[in-house]
Structure 1
Amino acid sequence: MPASLCGTWDIISNVNLEGYMIALIGPFLRKIAVRVKMRKVIEQQGDQYIIKTISSFRNYNLTFRVGQEFEEFTWGLDGRHTVVTWEGNKLVCEQTGEKKNRGWTHWIEDNKLHLELYCEGEVCRQV
Structure 2
Amino acid sequence: LPALLGCSLLLSSDNFEGYVLALGIDFATRKIANLLKPQKVIEQNGDSFTIHTSGSLKNYLVKFTVGEEFDEDNKGLDNRKCRSLVTWDNDSLTCVQKGEKKNRGWTHWIEGDQLHLVLTTCGQVCKQTFQRA
Q: Please classify the TM superposition score into its range, dividing by the shorter chain length.
A: over 0.9
Question: Mind listing any 5+ residue stretches in structure 2 that lack a counterpart?
Answer: none
Q: Is the 8 A contact 1:3 1:89 kept in 2?
A: no
Alignment match, 2:13: 14
Letter in 1 for 2:42: I
1:97 to 99, 103, 120: 99
> Residues of 2 paired with 1:28 and 1:96: CA distance?
27
Deviation at 1:58, TM superposition (A): 1.4
Structure 1 residue aligned with 2:111:
109
2:61 is matched with which residue?
61
Letter in 2 for 1:125: K
SS of 1:80's equivalent? strand
1:48 Cα deviation from its structure 2 partner: 1.1
Residue identity over aligned pairs, in percent, reads 48
Q: Secondary structure at the match of 2:19?
A: helix
- Count of residues in Structure 1 that have an aligned counterpart in Structure 2: 126
For residues 21-80 of structure 1, the C-alpha deviation after alignment (integer angstroms, 9 at most, x for no partner) is 110123232222111110100000232100000101111110000000000112342110
AA at the equivalent of 2:13:
N
What's the TM-score once normalised by structure 2's chain length? 0.89
- Using structure 1 for the length normalisation, give the TM-score: 0.93
Distance in 2 (CA, whole Å) between partners of 1:4 and 1:111 is 8
Aligned AA for 2:99?
G
Shift of 1:7: 1.1
Distance 1:31 1:77 in 2: 17
